[in-house]
Structure 1
Amino acid sequence: MRYENYETLKITRNGKILTVAFNRPELRNATNPRMHQELLRVWPEIGQDPETHVVILTGEGKAFSAGGDIAQMKRNLDDRQRWNESMHEAKRILFNMLDCDRPVIGRINGAAVGLGSTVALMCDITIATETAKICDPHVKVGLTAGDGGSVLWPMLAGHARTRLLLLTGETITGRQAADIGLITEAVPADKLDARVNEIAEKIANGATTAIRTTKRALVMSVRAQLEAQMDGHLGLETMSYLSDDHRIAVEAFVDGATPVFTGR
């Protein structure tokens, strides 16, 4: 597998270990339509790659992924066709990750925000630096946390904690995320690569069929939850996209101002 024509993802190989890195470091690896399309494509390709036994998913530069590109959001405020496409893409990205039977290790080297946090939590094993910033701030831009966060966060860390985090859009550190069970582990920044590589090597050299089928078994409950709820959650997010509060939030964010919400 040559993994050609990728621009927003940087793909490298070390033996049986494939590293996929978000590659828009100048924008803290914020997503855009091109990245959505490449994330849709990469997981089926990995699933057909006989050389890859484990994947490390990370970000170039100082962030994992800062989530949605707010400037792009402003340009698309009235482009409902693009919004509907993005909702379909967000759903398919998560399901394509589930369909890929290669274990995925999230290497969270910095901010994992919005869809970035959702993708981080979709990894089979998630290792973050202790100071990494993790949040799903949909409500801060006037949107429903509908692209997977409202399913994954309570499933991993429980409803009581994640109600607070998702209803406020509060940021937590990698250490706090590990302490509440949202991610697998948090380590000092200078230990991140060693720990991720240790786990990757162990999986890469393990019993291939047993590992892949165990992943398939483990994701069945996640798939069931997403299949039952995802369309409804994306519908609620679309409702919030049409609100005045979303427009107010995006315009304020781009202008460096504090949004004054109207409730409409």
Structure 2
Amino acid sequence: MSLIDIGANLTHEAFAHDLPAVLQHAADAGVTRMLVTGASRAGSEHALALAKAHPGRLFATAGVHPHHAIDFDDATEALLRELARDPAVRAVGETGLDYHRNYSPRDVQLAVFEHQLRIAAELHKPLFLHQRDAHHDFVALLRRYRDRVPGVVVHCFTDAGEALHDYLALDCHIGITGWICDERRGTHLRELVREIPANRLMIETDAPYLLPRTVRPPPPHRRNEPMYLRHICEEIARDRGESPAVTAANSTATTEAFFGLPPAP
């Protein structure tokens, strides 16, 4: 299987000491390409640097996560515009709304989200989005910009059926992570994943977060890695009633088309 991880936080300090090994483990598991998530000003710069260091294998996003919205200023906006113009940056984000933790005030989150929606619209870039416990405000603002951007992926989808149907009605793509493997809070996704059309489904690890709880034998640590994307693909395939090869081929083709990725090296 040739797989693409659309959300890997490879700039995280958890990978600082052994990133080459992490990339090799991923390649050995069939993960041929990865989107490195930019979630802050510094993180977006780092994501692009990694993409440039591994051309054809790593690509980047550039954005400010709602947790960091309070730090967004004119200089940050200017930098994101500059980064997003680079061919290695394939989407604007990670941006959106997070009312679960509210690390940034909600009015600030909304304003910063809209700033990044405008950047994507002006530069005609896809959006890589985050939403938690903020669906009403999130979808209301997204609707205003949806026809002005070439594509939208709601990354790490964990919400209920109503949200899924709203996103699909807006012609959004859906990113599924190892959350689906969590028997405490992700079992509803095993039903919902069947409702996602093959040409709208993408898969991701969100590494180093969300280590799939069904990996056997369990690793001696809690760090998620892109190599576990294969396991997530197999779980999704089982829930969709199709072979892992079919899930892999469809999600890879969908991801290549969405981000405009070249063939695997």
TM-score class, shorter: 0.3 to 0.5
Q: Return the TM-score normalized by structure 2.
A: 0.36
Q: Which has the bigger relative contact order, CA under 8 A and spacing at least 6?
A: 2
TM-score between both structures, scaled by the size of structure 1: 0.37
Structure having the higher Rg: 1
